[in-house]
Structures are given as C-alpha cells and as structure tokens.
Structure 1
C-alpha cells in the first residue's frame, strides 16, 4: 500500500493535489469520502478534479489535441482549467462562489446558535441567519458591520460571536480558495481583521480572537481547523464542511459545459469527463 501511495504522489499530474496538501492537510482530508453523503457522480468528479483529469477545454486543446478554443466559454477571458472553474471564473464569482462561501458560514452560524440555545431551524440546510440574534448566553452577528471609534476598512466578518458567559469575542471569517492557497488565505484573514480586533478589544474591554475558517475548493482541510472549531465549542464536523464545499461538484456537473455538446452529466456520463489512461503519461 505504501509503495502504491508513493507512486500516486510521484505522478506529475495526478499526484499534484496530494503533494500540495501533504504537509498542511489534516487527517480529515478524506472524511467527505468516508461519510458517503455525496452522490457518487459528485464524488467521482471531485476526485477527478483533484487528479487533474477532468477534460476541460484547456486539456482538450493542449493534451487531447482537439481543434477548439481553450478559453472559458462562460467568462471568455481565461483558459478553462480546473483551477479556473473551481475558484477564478468571474462569471461564477457573484453567484456560485458566493453561495459556496455562504453555505460554510451558515453551517457554522447554525451550529453556534444550537450551542448557545438561540433560535434556529431544526435542519442545517434550512437555516437562514438573522443579522443580530441574542439571549443571556451569547450574541451573534451575521455579516454585520461592527461600530468602532476609528474608521476601519474591514469591519464585517462573516460571523461575530460575543460569548457573554466566557466574556470573549470571536471574529469568524471563512474562505474557500484553491488548495495551494489555503495557508496564505488563513494568514490574509488574520491580517485583514487585525485592526478590528485591536479596536474591539479596546472598546469592549474583553479578549477578541480572529478565527479564520478556511477549506480548499476541492476539500482541503488545514490541521488547524479542528483546533479553531474546538475553541468555539460548536464547530461543524470537518466532513460536513467538506460536504458543503462539495457544492463545487455541482459547478462542474451542472453549471459548466466542459465540452460543446452538453451542460449536464448523468452517472454514466462521468467517465466521459475523464482522461483515458492512454492519453497522457503521468
């Protein structure tokens, strides 16, 4: 098994994802597969995306040698690579990417409401966060600007938790970047809300912590994520977070035309999106 794993990691194309995530990903990386809660065609597409084997227009032109344009047919600006589809297409930014981002934040908001006995839906996927919700235990702000004495550029994290019992504040902000960028995005979030942390600590006179919730577009989970959720004492299980991010599968599966003939794929059509082993040398 070890030799097979090493052989997989050494492949120039198919091993890219595993090499990029080897040092930073937690042991929960494969939870979305072990939980078995995604449709099998979605699992297949995400796994193929991790292995760089989806036949995007760029791959069809550069690897298959097909006489087609490699440019994304949705934005008409960049090559239609897996990275572009998953995280960089401007045509998807305000709709699909935002929906994916908000799904992660909503799941965490729902979990915090449950933990602090605040009003919320029984089912996570039905939850619609209120701007401000509070009781004797906690106050939770959703996408809400925090007032400060100084004019600050960044005052609106995804979720602000004011724990009245433990007398502490958590500034929680999420992101779903391409997997090589997960650590960079975590550092970016901490820097982004540094001034807000200083101001709120001074004004409210209680400890304030910035908690980035970062998950890669293809399911990468940093080792630090579990520790962050443990601090909140109400984290969403990493496997569930990955399931939410599995929304990217629907982008590949329904929203994007990976060739000129179809925009939807059934279970039996998934293989048509993948490379034949003989077409590339990995």
Structure 2
C-alpha cells in the first residue's frame, strides 16, 4: 500500500470538491437554459455555449441564480440556487440542486426541501402568491430517491434533459 501524506489527502479532497462543484454547476446550467427557453428569454440553443446570468427579467418571468433575495424580515437562508417568479401563473418556484453520495441522498434531499421554508413563507407574503420549493438531488452516478420523479414532473423537465443531466454526472 502506498504511503499517504497529509498533503496527498488535501489534494485529493480538493479534487473531490472541485469535481462536485463542476457537476453541480453543470446541472444548474442545464436547468437555467431549460427555464430560459420555457419563459421565452433570448438564449443560446446549445448547452455548451450557454452561460448563466444572475438575474433575468421579461414579461413572463424573473429568474435569479444564486442571488440574495431581499425580504422585510432578516432570513439566514435567503440565497436559493434558482428563483423563478412566474408572472403569468403568479407563482414562485425555488429550485435547490444537490449532487451527493448514495449514503447522504435522502438526507440532502430533505435538507434542500426544508432549507428555504422561512424564505418561502416570507416570499408568499411579499408577492402574495404561492411558493414551492423543489429539490433536484441525485448521486454522482445518477441515482435518485423515490420522490425524484414527482419533482421532475413539477419542474416539467423532459426525459431527454434528465438523461443528459445524468450523463454529465457520470
């Protein structure tokens, strides 16, 4: 067995962190492009050339990615991954992406679902609309929970997009 030094562990840990971030950001990028097309924003049709903008706004929706949401009350968790204000349906959707291990899958999905409860309540009062929190969580080898299918349905993610997302995780 190879001798392992502290520096080896640090480098390996950093690689894992970088890999997680890359995969996570790819998923956010895919979902962002899907939402831009759904809400009639001008965007690239190709995922490879798509770059995520923090805030976009048109007559159909306001989409924010990883931006602080201002509220009347101070709320610690106020920076959801994806915030969508659907102006036609008068509805807010908060999407939280998580890429994790199989051991933590259920825990991460539950945490993502609960993390923004206070923010969701506050946004409902401010915008006078319904707010839903939808976790988009899977393992780095594409395994999902039994609830994932219903989350996909609520997000209206086509199967080809879901298949693409799973392929970029592998």
Residue 53 of structure 2: aligned partner:
130
Describe the superposition over 1:42-62 as per-residue Cα deviations: whole angstroms up to 9, x where unpaired: xxxxxxxxxxxxxxxxxxxxx
- Pairing partner for 1:75 from 2, 5, 9: 9
From 41, 62, 79, the counterpart of 1:156? 79
What do you get for the CA RMSD once the two structures are aligned?
Answer: 2.0
1:238 partnered with 2:162: yes
Correspondence for 1:260: none
| Distance 1:72-1:121 versus aligned 2 partners, 3 A rule | farther
In structure 2, distance between residues paired with 1:241 and 1:212: 15
> What's the offset of the Cα at 1:71?
6.2
Q: Which has the higher strand share?
A: 2
TM-score computed with the length of structure 1 as normaliser: 0.56
Task: Please list, as runs of the form range in 1=range in 2, the aligned pairs for 1:201-212 lying within 5 A after superposition.
Answer: 201-212=124-135
In structure 2, relative to structure 1, the CA distance for the partners of 1:196 and 1:68 (3 Å cut) is same
CA distance in 1, matches of 2:6, 2:28: 29
Report 1 or 2 for greater relative contact order, CA contacts < 8 Å, sequence distance ≥ 6: 1
Extract unaligned runs of 5+ from structure 2.
none
- Deviates most, 162-171 or 225-234: 225-234
Q: Deviations over 1:19-42 (max 9, x none)?
A: xxxxxxxxxxxxxxxxxxxxxxxx
Map residues 50-65 of structure 1 onto 2, 5 A cutoff: none
Which runs of structure 2 are paired with 1:1-282 in the superposition (5 Å)?
67-69=1-3, 74-76=8-10, 89-93=13-17, 95-235=18-158, 237-246=161-170
**Whole-angstrom distance in 1 between the partners of 2:142 and 2:7:** 25
User: Does the 8 Å CA contact 1:174/1:214 hold for their aligned counterparts?
Assistant: yes
Task: Give the CA deviation at 1:121.
Answer: 1.1
Q: In terms of Rg, which structure is larger?
A: 1
CA distance in 2, matches of 1:98, 1:76: 16
The more displaced of 226-235 and 95-104 is 226-235
Structure 1 stretches lacking a partner, 5+ long? 1-66, 78-84, 247-282
Cα distance in 1 between the residues matched to 2:2 and 2:122: 54
